[in-house]
Amino acid sequence: MGSKLISLFLLFLPLLTVTILSGAEEAFASDKTVLLVNGHNSTAGSGDGGMSSLRGKKQRRASGCNLFQGRWVFDASYPFYDSSTCPFIDGEFDCLKFGRPDKQFLKYSWQPESCAIPRFDGAAFLRKYRGKRIMFVGDSLSLNMWESLGCMIHASVPNAKTTFTKRTPLSSLTFQEYGVTLNLYRTPYIVDIAKERVGRVLNLGAIDGGADVWKNTDVLVFNSWHWWTHKGQSQGWDYIRDGSSLVRDMNRLDAFYKGLSTWARWVDQNVDTTKTRVFFQGISPTHYEGREWNEPRKSCSGQMQPLGGSSYPSGQPPAAGVVSKVLSSMKKPVFLLDITTLSQLRKDAHPSSYGGDGGTDCSHWCLPGLPDTWNQLLYAALSM
């Protein structure tokens, strides 16, 4: 059943004694606010209850249904929207715009083994969350999911007046008549990167950079892992601070565990889960290594259909085990959106060479596409 959540004002970032950086994705957007009326752009100034149905430290089941165990089936009613009519999609996700010739990847729906999930209804979502704020916190996979949800809602109410603001680190999309705001807070590691004398320092024990902004939001969806594996020029830090130790590098899974444990303590100590629903978006997989699905010479390039069945040949990535371990230790209820396996099956759903930058992207996902299913599962979890 739907929850009645309490809407509170977004708090401003505090002044810090050290400069907190937004991480390796610092330059993802310029400050811009766009007022969208009937789908056309015009420049504007920048500018409890009922929580018990989905309690659980690492809950994946709702009303006896495991939403995340199932298979992909062909569905002619998909996709939820046309990318050419959604004003919120970044070019890196707009695969059809950049020439992807096949469209069958748009025509698959996720079918859990033991139940049916409700089809997303954007108008009903807006009515249910009137005056509420939903925030995605994390890296570019959070951006993928945030833009997807905006497009899904927009398709249901295409004439709704919206305000769309892209900033670093906080962006927002507001459906004005309903007072519903979708926020994105970009922080690829969740824990802080501080500028110190030695350079950029990833502090595994600090989470001050954006934490005040996250408080008192009605729905929080966290995500991290994608950037923890980056090395060389794409690495977002120069040193790691682990307690009193300052090191050049360490085992990335160990670092992720320590950083995520800091996040878990923050949630336990700071989030009132009678007012705020907390989700963790499971590990989003990549498809660069075909040996994972028994095609050793291939990647996501040229893939046109999902894997069959309900399991992935190489199993879940180790980072998924870290997430499970951390969530199981928490005192507050956090719902795991366990999208890893169902996403592993979608080797066909990446931008590959159709992301507009000339490279091969087997990390992110086309829109429309897989993140729409993530949001449908979020919708199901919020509704059951």
Q: Helix and strand tally (H, E) in the chain?
A: 7, 18
The 10s digit of each residue's pLDDT in 249-290 is 999 999 999 999 999 999 999 999 999 999 999 999 999 999
Q: Under a CB-based contact definition with an 8 Å cutoff, are residues 168 and 22 in contact?
A: yes
Taking 90 as the threshold, does the pLDDT of residue 55 lie above it?
A: no
Taking 80 as the threshold, does the pLDDT of residue 9 lie above it?
A: no
Taking 50 as the threshold, does the pLDDT of residue 7 lie above it?
A: no
Distances (CA, A) of 261 to 256, 268, 329, 370: 8, 10, 9, 28
pLDDT of amino acid 63:
56
Using pLDDT thresholds of 50, 70 and 90, give the confidence band for residue 54. Answer: very low
pTM for the model: 0.86
Using pLDDT thresholds of 50, 70 and 90, give the confidence band for residue 313. Answer: very high
DSSP assignment of 144-165: HHHHHHHHHHHHHSTT--EEEE
Tokens linked to 81: 């929207």
CB atoms within 10 A of CB 326: 23
Q: Which member of 94, 192, 348, 361 is catalytic?
A: 361
Using pLDDT thresholds of 50, 70 and 90, give the confidence band for residue 52. Answer: very low
pLDDT of amino acid 43:
34
The 10s digit of each residue's pLDDT in 315-356 is 999 999 999 999 999 999 999 999 999 999 999 999 999 998
pLDDT of amino acid 108:
98
CA distance 366 to 377: 18
Distances (CA, A) of 113 to 23, 45, 66, 369: 40, 48, 8, 21
Contacts of 341 (CB under 8 A, 6+ apart): 68, 69, 310, 311, 312, 316
CA distance 187 to 94: 23
Active site residue 154: no
Which amino acid is located at 91 in the chain?
A: G
Beta bridge partners of 63: none
Average pLDDT value for the chain: 87
CA distance 365 to 369: 7
Q: Under a CB-based contact definition with an 8 Å cutoff, are residues 3 and 134 in contact?
A: no
Q: Under a CB-based contact definition with an 8 Å cutoff, are residues 197 and 237 in contact?
A: no
Beta bridge partners of 354: none
Q: Which member of 218, 364, 372, 383 is catalytic?
A: 364
The 10s digit of each residue's pLDDT in 216-226 is 899 999 999 99
Active site residue 224: no
Active site residue 140: yes
pLDDT of amino acid 244:
94
Token pair 């922080």 is at which residue?
Answer: 187
Using pLDDT thresholds of 50, 70 and 90, give the confidence band for residue 6. Answer: very low
Q: Which member of 3, 140, 142, 383 is catalytic?
A: 140
Beta bridge partners of 138: 186
pLDDT of amino acid 114:
87
